[in-house]
C-alpha cells in the first residue's frame, strides 16, 4: 500500500526512525545520540562512529519540530510577498531565499496576491507552523489593526513596502531621491509636462516617490498639475489603462514618471499601439529596473533598485535580531541608481509634436 520512494530502515508505524532507534542500534543511550547530534566533544570517537553509522543505516532524520518544542529556535522564516507575478518581487524573493540558505534558515513562502484577507490567513498559518520571524511585503489595503496582533512577539521586517502605523524594521529603497532624480532627468531633457503614473495614494512607497516627483518640479519651478497624476493598479494592465486619458488630455503630458517598471512597460506598449513613439514623441522612466527594462522597445530608462539585495538585507537584519533577541525596529535605506536608456527621449521633438497634437 504505502510505497513511497523505496524506503530502507524506516521503522515504527510512522515510518520515521528516532533517536531511540539509533541508540538501540548503536548500543548506547539516547542521550549519547543527542550529544553526537549536537557535535559535542564529550563523546568518544569510537562511540560517535558507531552512532553515525547507525543513523545512516536507519536513514535517521533529525526531527527539528521536537527540538523546537523543547526550546530550540525553529529555523523557519516566513516570507509573505504581495505579488509574485511582478518580476521585481521575484528578484526580492530570490534574495530572501538565498540569504535564508546561507543562514541555515528555511523560508515558508506565500503570495498574498495583494489580498489582505489571504495575507492574514497565511501570516497566521506561518505562526502556527512556528516561524521565528517574518519578512513581509504587505498587500495593498492591509488593515494594520487586524494584522498587528498576529505579529506580536515576533520580529518582522517590512521590505520594499511599509504600512503606516506598523512599527517594524524596514528595508526599502530611497524612493524620494530616486524619483526626484528621474523627474529632473525628464525635465532636463526638455519635458515641461511630466505625468506621474501608477499606484494608489494609500501606498507609502508611492507617497515617497510622489514627493520626489513634486520636489523635482519645485526645483525646476514648474507648477504642479494634479490632472497629470494617474492612480492605477501596479501592473502591466494598470500602465496600459491610463493611455486614453493621457492622450485625450487638454494639455497632454510629453513624459511620464511611472510608479514602477511593469506600469511603465504597460504604458509603453499601449502608447506604441496608439501610435505614439516612446523615446521621440514621449519620454518614460520607470522604477525598479527589472531585467525586461533592457529589452523593451525602446529600452526603458529606470530608477534601479536592487531587489535581490533588498531581500538579502531584510533577512540578514531579521537573523541578526533573532540571534540577539533584540527586536527593536531598525530602518535600512538602499540607494538607487538612475539608468538612462532610449525611452527618455530627447524631447525637443516631443514637445513640438505634442503641441502640434494639442492644437488639432
Partner DNA sequence: TTGTAGGCGTTATCAA
Partner DNA sequence: TTGATAACGCCTACAA
The one among 62, 101, 244, 358 contacting DNA by CB under 7 A: 62
Q: How far apart are CA 31 and CA 152, in angstroms?
A: 35
Q: Residue 16, interface with its own copies (CB under 8 A)?
A: yes
The one among 42, 248, 325, 359 contacting its own copies by CB under 8 A: 325
Q: How far apart are CA 254 and CA 357, in angstroms?
A: 11
**Cβ(266)–Cβ(260) below 8 Å:** no
Q: What is the dihedral of CA 200, 330, 322, 79, to 10 degrees?
A: 10
Q: Which one, 132 or 179, has the nearer CB to DNA?
A: 132
String of contacts with its own copies for each residue 154-183, x by CB under 8 A: xxx---------xxx---------------
Strand-pair category, 169-173 with 194-197: unpaired
Per-residue DSSP letter, 198: S
Long-range contacts formed by 161-168: CB under 8 A, 24+ apart:
161/82, 161/137, 161/203, 161/204, 161/205, 162/138, 162/204, 162/205, 163/138, 163/204, 164/204, 166/138, 167/329, 168/136, 168/329
Q: How far apart are CA 119 and CA 302, in angstroms?
A: 30
Contacts of 149 (CB under 8 A, 6+ apart): none
Instruction: Tell me how long the chain is.
Output: 360
Q: Residue 170, interface with DNA (CB under 7 A)?
A: no
Q: Which one, 48 or 180, has the nearer CB to DNA?
A: 48
* 44 binds, options its own copies, DNA, none, Cβ within 5 to 8 A by partner type: DNA
Q: Which stretch binds its own copies (CB under 8 A): 80-88, 198-206, 207-215, 223-231?
A: 80-88
Query: CA 172, 177, 182 angle in degrees (round to 5)?
Result: 115
Q: Which one, 35 or 136, has the nearer CB to DNA?
A: 35
Q: Residue 45, interface with its own copies (CB under 8 A)?
A: no
* 30 binds, options its own copies, DNA, none, Cβ within 5 to 8 A by partner type: DNA
Residues 93-152 binding its own copies (CB under 8 A) are 93-94, 97-98, 101, 104, 106-111, 118, 121-122, 124-130, 148-149, 151-152
Residues 48-67 binding its own copies (CB under 8 A) are 59, 61-66
Q: Residue 275, interface with its own copies (CB under 8 A)?
A: no
Applying CB under 7 A, the residues found at the interface with DNA are 1-2, 12, 14, 16, 18-20, 23, 27-32, 34-35, 37-38, 42-44, 46-47, 62-63, 66-67, 69-72
Amino acid at each position: 500500500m504505502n510505497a513511497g520512494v523505496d524506503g530502507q530502515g524506516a521503522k515504527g508505524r510512522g515510518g520515521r526512525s528516532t533517536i531511540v532507534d539509533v541508540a538501540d542500534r548503536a548500543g548506547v543511550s539516547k542521550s549519547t545520540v543527542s550529544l553526537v547530534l549536537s557535535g559535542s566533544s564529550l563523546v568518544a570517537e569510537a562511540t560517535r562512529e558507531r552512532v553515525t553509522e547507525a543513523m545512516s543505516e536507519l536513514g535517521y532524520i533529525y526531527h527539528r519540530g521536537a527540538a523546537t518544542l523543547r526550546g530550540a529556535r525553529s529555523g523557519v522564516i516566513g516570507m509573505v510577498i504581495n505579488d509574485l507575478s511582478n518580476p521585481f518581487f521575484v528578484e526580492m524573493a530570490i534574495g530572501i531565499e538565498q540569504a535564508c540558505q546561507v543562514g541555515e534558515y528555511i523560508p515558508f513562502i506565500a503570495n498574498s496576491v495583494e489580498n489582505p484577507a489571504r495575507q492574514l490567513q497565511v501570516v497566521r498559518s506561518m505562526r502556527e507552523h512556528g516561524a521565528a520571524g517574518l519578512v513581509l511585503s504587505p498587500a495593498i489595503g492591509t488593515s494594520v489593526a487586524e494584522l498587528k496582533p498576529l505579529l506580536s512577539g515576533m520580529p518582522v521586517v517590512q521590505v520594499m513596502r511599509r504600512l503606516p502605523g506598523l512599527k517594524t524594521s524596514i528595508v526599502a529603497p530611497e524612493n524620494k531621491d530616486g524619483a526626484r532624480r528621474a523627474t529632473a532627468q525628464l525635465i532636463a531633457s526638455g519635458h515641461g509636462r511630466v505625468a506621474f503614473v501608477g499606484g494608489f495614494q494609500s501606498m507609502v512607497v508611492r507617497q515617497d516617490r510622489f514627493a520626489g516627483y513634486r520636489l523635482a518640479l519645485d526645483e525646476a519651478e514648474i507648477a504642479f498639475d494634479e490632472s497629470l497624476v494617474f492612480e492605477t493598479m501596479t501592473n502591466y494592465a494598470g500602465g496600459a489603462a491610463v493611455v486614453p486619458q493621457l492622450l485625450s488630455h487638454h494639455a497632454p503630458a510629453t513624459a511620464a514618471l511611472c510608479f514602477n517598471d511593469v506600469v511603465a512597460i504597460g504604458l509603453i506598449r499601449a502608447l506604441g499601439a496608439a501610435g505614439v513613439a516612446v523615446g521621440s514623441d514621449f519620454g518614460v522612466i520607470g522604477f525598479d529596473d527589472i531585467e525586461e527594462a533592457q529589452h523593451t522597445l525602446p529600452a526603458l530608462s529606470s530608477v534601479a533598485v536592487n531587489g535581490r539585495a533588498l531581500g538579502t538585507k531584510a533577512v540578514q537584519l531579521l537573523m541578526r535580531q533573532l540571534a540577539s533577541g533584540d527586536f527593536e525596529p531598525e530602518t535600512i535605506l538602499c540607494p538607487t541608481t538612475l539608468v538612462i536608456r532610449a525611452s527618455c527621449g530627447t524631447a525637443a521633438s516631443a514637445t513640438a509634436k505634442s503641441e502640434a497634437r494639442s492644437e488639432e
